[in-house]
A = this chain, B = another copy of it.
């Protein structure tokens, strides 16, 4: 998905929120905003939103002199998510179509963005979010693909969400599962560390995409990731950043699983904001 003009004010707002989340020093917050505006001036040099996100959110690392400013927030998100693991497993075991509900739980995990959801918030909203149907759900198509599948690749997104993804993956007992995470810390996205902290190694082989942006950049991907990306029978891409990176790729075995939080993506998919989507990539 191409970078849109709407992304520019949104990134500026995001990086302000981000800088406030990781430092109390207003002079650093101000410096980050100043530098972000300089980057925005060259917005035409960036192809997709994650490419610009890498630069803009990279400022937070530079000016806080911390290569992983969200470390604590990611840790908290995982801790919060883990408290929901058992009740969600129990809920899932009571359902008829466990695959549908596994996907739904993994999609709800996508709400755990930016560490903005406290345990209390999540508790209050979980039931409501569970009840919300997918606005788009290519489940039958997915089930059809599963019949002949051996290898499933999941492209992870946020830390915390990883725990919800584990619940989905545990339903894929018959398959070889790869779970791919960012190559370096970027925003609150999961890296190898958070994937292990979430226990994903118990049900999947954790790999790094090799990418430094909150999405996929094929120029950056490791050889290992590229091979698995090409060999996988099914790819499940989680969240908005991965969607923005892959939405133009013609791949018949690619499924997007996300909560749509931004109007640009909503309009690109053709649904309203705040909806859940499990969408097979359109290759026509």
A residues sitting closer than 8 Å to B (CB atoms) are 5-6, 8-10, 12-13, 16, 29-30, 33-34, 37-38, 40-41, 43
- With both chains docked as a complex, state the minimum distance between the C-beta of A203 and any C-beta of chain B, in angstroms: 40
- Grouping DSSP codes into helix (H, G, I), strand (E, B) and loop, the A interface class, with mixed when no group exceeds half, is helix
- Which of the listed residues A10, A12, A38 has the most CB atoms from chain B within 10 Å of its own CB? A12
CA A149 to CA B244, docked complex, whole Å: 61
A29 neighbours in B (Cβ, 8 Å): 5
Closest chain B residue to A29, Cβ basis:
B5
CA A38 to CA B9, docked complex, whole Å: 13
A6 neighbours in B (Cβ, 8 Å): 13, 16
A37/B8 in contact, CB under 8 A: yes
- With both chains docked as a complex, state the minimum distance between the C-beta of A84 and any C-beta of chain B, in angstroms: 29
CA A10 to CA B14, docked complex, whole Å: 11
- State which of B5, B16, B30, B41 has its C-beta within 8 Å of the C-beta of A16: B5
- State which of B8, B10, B30, B34 has its C-beta within 8 Å of the C-beta of A41: B34
CA A6 to CA B37, docked complex, whole Å: 13
CA A5 to CA B34, docked complex, whole Å: 10
CA A9 to CA B33, docked complex, whole Å: 10
- State which of B5, B13, B30, B34 has its C-beta within 8 Å of the C-beta of A9: B13
A-B contact pairs, 14 of them (CB 8 A): A5-B16, A5-B29, A5-B30, A8-B12, A8-B16, A8-B33, A8-B37, A9-B13, A10-B13, A13-B13, A34-B41, A37-B37, A40-B40, A41-B41
- State which of B8, B33, B43 has its C-beta within 8 Å of the C-beta of A5: B33
CA A12 to CA B40, docked complex, whole Å: 11
CA A59 to CA B89, docked complex, whole Å: 55
CA A208 to CA B91, docked complex, whole Å: 65
List the 3 shortest-distance A-B pairs measured between CB atoms, nearest first: A9-B13, A9-B12, A9-B9
